[in-house]
Amino acid sequence: MEEAIPLSRGDVHWVFPDLEDTDAVAGALTTADALVSRLAGHLGVRVGRTGSVLEYLRLEGHVLAGVFGCAERPEVSFHARLYFPRRCLWDLRWGPPWDVEAEVRVPCDRETDCGGHTLAVSEHTYVTPVDSARGLVRATTWLLTQGVSRPPDAWRSLDPGCGCLPGLVD
C-alpha cells in the first residue's frame, strides 16, 4: 500500500539523513512546491494525493528516499521528483548522488495502452543536498514554463501517432 505524506508533515532527513542545517534545503523544497502549485492553479487541478504538491511517499512501510509531485489533467501530466535511486524497497543506501527529474507526459491512446509517453524531460544529478534541492527549483521552474507554454489539449499534437507502433509497447 502506498501512502503520501505532505511536504509540511514530512522530514527532510528522510531524503538527506546526514543534513545538519535544514533551512536552505527546506526553503528550496518549499519554493519548488509553490512552483508546481502555480502550475496546478494554471491547469485548474488539485495537486498531489494529499492536496500538497510535493509529497514524501511511503510504500509498504518504507519511506522512499525522495520528494515527488505532480499536476495532472486527463490529457497531460507534469511530474517533478528529487530522489536517491534505490534498487528496491529494502535498499537503505542514501545519496549522494540525488537525481532531479521533471517531465511532461501524455497518456497513450492506443488500444494496447503502453502507459504513456514522455514529451519533454529535464534530468540532472547532484552530489549535495542543497544543490539537489536548488536543482528541484530549477526543474520545477522549467516545468511551470512548459505547462504555461501551450494549452493542455495541445500536448497530444507533439506525440504524432501516439509515439508507439501498433503491437509494440514502449
pLDDT-based confidence at residue 32 (cuts at 50, 70, 90): very high
Q: Kindly write down the DSSP assignment for every residue of 48-73, as one continuous string.
A: TTTS-SSEEEEETTEE-SEEEEEEEE
This prediction has a pTM of 0.86
Residue 50: pLDDT over 90:
no
Q: In the chain, helix, strand, coil percent, each to 5?
A: 35, 30, 40
- Residue among 64, 81, 74, 139 at smallest CA distance from 106: 74
pLDDT of residue 45: 86
**φ/ψ of residue 167, rounded to 5:** 90, -10
In sequence order, what are the residues at sequence separation of 6 or more whose Cβ sits closer than 8 angstroms to the Cβ of residue 40?
46, 47, 53, 71
